Amino acid sequence: MRQINLGIIGGGTVGGGVFQAVQRNGALMALRLGVELRVARVAVRDLKKSRAVRIPPALLATDWRSVVADPGIHLIVELMGGTTIARQVVLAALKLGKPVVTANKALLSAHGEELFATAQRHGANLYYEASVAGGIPIIKVLREGLIGNRITRLYGIVNGTCNYILTRMKLEGADFAAVLADAQRLGYAEAEPSLDVDGHDAAHKTGILASLAHGFWVNPKDVYVEGIRGVTPLDIQFAERLGYTIKLLGVVKKFGTDQGKCSPVQVSVYPTLVPNGHVLASVNDVFNAVYVRGDIVGDTLYYGRGAGQDATASAVLSDLADAALDLKCGAKSRIPPFVPHERDGAVLPIDEVVSRYYVRLSVADRPGTLAKIAAILAAAKIGISSVIQPEGHEGKSLPLILMIHDATHAAMRQALGKISRLAVVKETPVMIRVENFE
């Protein structure tokens, strides 16, 4: 049986998990693939660091270049993170014709086009199942399982850390900072956790899914992003009273064709009020879920652990199998990991995106307040579907909740700008989108 030697660059949470998983299930994979996977070297930064998963010292190295260039190493697994050295690692390996597996969504988001083009030029494949939604094989679903569908809607809870934080804030009334510290301890968060809580990690993943679904590489600058720092316990409670749960959603929507030309695709990430009756409202803790609608298949749903050592290692193993089969049967025998096929593809500017909204204002309890606010919305042709001024709030300012009918982002931005300048409005308005999954 052919033996394939792996060079893993990074021996942290995910690298350690992959090392452990290959020891545990490598023999099973050999039976299934007809090739044996062996970890030959693991590059790390610090040889002396104590590691939760022990890697034999003889396998460790600090010079990633020597691992990539080693002619005895057939396949490179980039699990170091970041976008600078990681880009060099992936390019160097692909230029040597070695297949590469990565979990690095930030790298793909920033340099995906260049990396896939390099892979194609050098006859090697670049695999990235672990870059989105942890253990859910969503890349394979879009790339292979749904290859015969046009994807009209995709909604994803794709950041485990944010979902873990929002779940514990809702169910336990837990404090944001304390729950984030737990997510870091559990190995869910990025080395720089602002990537998680400010929505950038979810934007990287949503951009990757949109690229795959629509056949053009989405520029991360075109993805509209809001994170969860502004989601307060008060909004979680009001949402619950209205029958919703707040989730950080990646949203990819395509609205048919525009006079025969490809219409732009909405690609955004923002906290969203999800109706409690919708399945995504019950996706809790570190779990992720991706809801995909295809024009032939209809609605489909994928669910699983979205972050952490073992879930991510499982996705890397799936890519190792594909990459190993490249080496066994030839890279061209498989569907390439990314096929650009939409030359007119473009992202819809956020100002043109239409949505429903939850708005929470902090207002003076004075006659005429509601009339002033309603007049600004009416002038902008923005319809109010309901107004709630909950009892039991006392003080100089009171919460006023408005549920808003479909309106563009631009119209809402301008109207809320005017509303926030009213003397009766005491704080910056809170605006959260409401999704009805139509």
| x/- track of binding to ligand NAP for residues 15-54 (CB under 6 A) | x---------------------------xxxx--x-----
Smallest gap, in angstroms, from Cβ of residue 66 to ligand NAP? 11
| x/- track of binding to ligand NAP for residues 164-193 (CB under 6 A) | -----------------------xx-xx--
Terminal alpha carbon distance of the chain? 51
Question: Which three-class secondary structure state does DSSP give residue 52?
Answer: coil
Residue whose beta carbon is closest to ligand NAP = 12
Q: Which is nearer to ligand NAP, 316 or 430 (CB)?
A: 316
| x/- track of binding to ligand NAP for residues 128-147 (CB under 6 A) | --x---x-------------
Choosing from 205, 247, 253, 254, the catalytic residue is 205
Smallest gap, in angstroms, from Cβ of residue 142 to ligand HSE? 17
159 is in the binding site of which of ligand NAP, ligand HSE, none (Cβ under 5 to 8 A by kind)? ligand HSE
Q: Does 12 bind ligand NAP (CB under 6 A)?
A: yes
How many whole angstroms separate alpha carbon 324 and alpha carbon 127?
Answer: 11
**CB within 8 A of 226, min separation 6: which ones?**
199, 269, 270, 271
Contacting positions for ligand HSE (CB under 6 A)? 134, 159-161, 188-190, 196, 201, 306-307
Smallest gap, in angstroms, from Cβ of residue 202 to ligand NAP? 12
79 is in the binding site of which of ligand HSE, ligand NAP, none (Cβ under 5 to 8 A by kind)? ligand NAP
Q: Does 112 bind ligand NAP (CB under 6 A)?
A: no
Q: Does 308 bind ligand NAP (CB under 6 A)?
A: yes
187 is in the binding site of which of ligand NAP, ligand HSE, none (Cβ under 5 to 8 A by kind)? ligand NAP
Q: Which is nearer to ligand NAP, 126 or 425 (CB)?
A: 126
Q: Which is nearer to ligand HSE, 188 or 217 (CB)?
A: 188
Q: Which is nearer to ligand NAP, 337 or 345 (CB)?
A: 337
Smallest gap, in angstroms, from Cβ of residue 199 to ligand HSE? 11
Q: Which is nearer to ligand HSE, 14 or 68 (CB)?
A: 14
C-alpha angle 143-112-147 in degrees, rounded to nearest 5: 10
In this structure, are residues 360 and 234 in contact, taking their beta carbons and an 8 Å threshold?
yes
Q: Which is nearer to ligand HSE, 201 or 322 (CB)?
A: 201
In this structure, are residues 210 and 105 in contact, taking their beta carbons and an 8 Å threshold?
no
196 is in the binding site of which of ligand NAP, ligand HSE, none (Cβ under 5 to 8 A by kind)? ligand HSE
CA distances from 217 to 190, 204, 268 (A): 23, 12, 15
Smallest gap, in angstroms, from Cβ of residue 79 to ligand NAP? 5
140 given a catalytic annotation: no
Other C-beta atoms lying within 10 Å of the C-beta of residue 219: 16
CA distances from 207 to 14, 121, 351, 368 (A): 22, 23, 18, 45
How many whole angstroms separate alpha carbon 365 and alpha carbon 399?
Answer: 9
Smallest gap, in angstroms, from Cβ of residue 164 to ligand HSE? 7
Question: Which three-class secondary structure state does DSSP give residue 125?
Answer: coil
Task: Please classify residue 68 by burial: count the beta carbons closer than 10 Å to its beta carbon, then call 0-12 exposed, 13-18 middle and 19+ buried.
Answer: buried
Q: Which is nearer to ligand NAP, 64 or 244 (CB)?
A: 64
Q: Please choose, from the candidates 358, 393, 325, 336, the residue with its C-alpha nearest in 3D space to the C-alpha of residue 239.
A: 358
CA distances from 327 to 49, 99, 173, 322 (A): 33, 8, 51, 9
**CB within 8 A of 43, min separation 6: which ones?**
7, 8, 9, 10, 11, 60, 61, 62, 63, 64, 67, 80
Judged by CB under 6 A, the stretch of 20-28, 75-83, 216-224, 287-295 that binds ligand NAP is: 75-83
In this structure, are residues 239 and 273 in contact, taking their beta carbons and an 8 Å threshold?
yes
Phi, psi values for residue 329, rounded to 5°? -115, -10
Which residue type is seen at 297? V
DSSP H helices, 145-280, are 160-172, 176-185, 194-197, 200-214, 233-242
13 is in the binding site of which of ligand HSE, ligand NAP, none (Cβ under 5 to 8 A by kind)? ligand NAP
Show which residues are catalytic.
Answer: 205
Q: For binding to ligand NAP (CB under 6 A), which residues are involved?
A: 9-15, 43-46, 49, 64, 79-81, 85, 103-104, 130, 134, 187-188, 190-191, 307-308, 312
